[in-house]
Structure 1
Amino acid sequence: MADISAAEIPRLQQSLRRLLGSPQLTVEPPARKGLTVEIAVAGEVIGTVCRDEDEGEVSYAVNLTVLEEDLPPA
């Protein structure tokens, strides 16, 4: 896994906002090098994103976390 550069974050944020239909989504750079880039909606962290580069091809893996306590009642 490679670090996500500061130049990639706005592009990634724009793409994720469009794909997920959430203009409140933000991609937060890590507090220090080596930490995970976080995805938040309205200030609440909902997951992480990692960058992968293989044979010159770059991709981003998004991991969304949904806590059971945030689900509606069964």
Structure 2
Amino acid sequence: RDGRETLRLIKQDRRLQRVPVVILTTSVAEYDISLAYESGASSYISKPDTFDGWVELATALSGYWFDLVHLPPWE
């Protein structure tokens, strides 16, 4: 399965629909970005091409998802 198929399956499963999905990809094509959000992605991020870029991304993502965001309670 590719990422698009995986996203589709996640969003079709009632138990997983509310799980935030971050797309990490090499594509910056407007079509791919639009399709991801239309399919239920929570965020669309271009993959870094350096180790330092990955460290920066991991730090930013963990700060965002674990420190800033308020998610609804799970049922």
Which category describes the TM-score, using the shorter chain as reference length?
A: under 0.3
More strand by share: 1
Which structure has greater helix proportion? 2
TM-score by length of 1: 0.26
TM-score (norm 2): 0.26
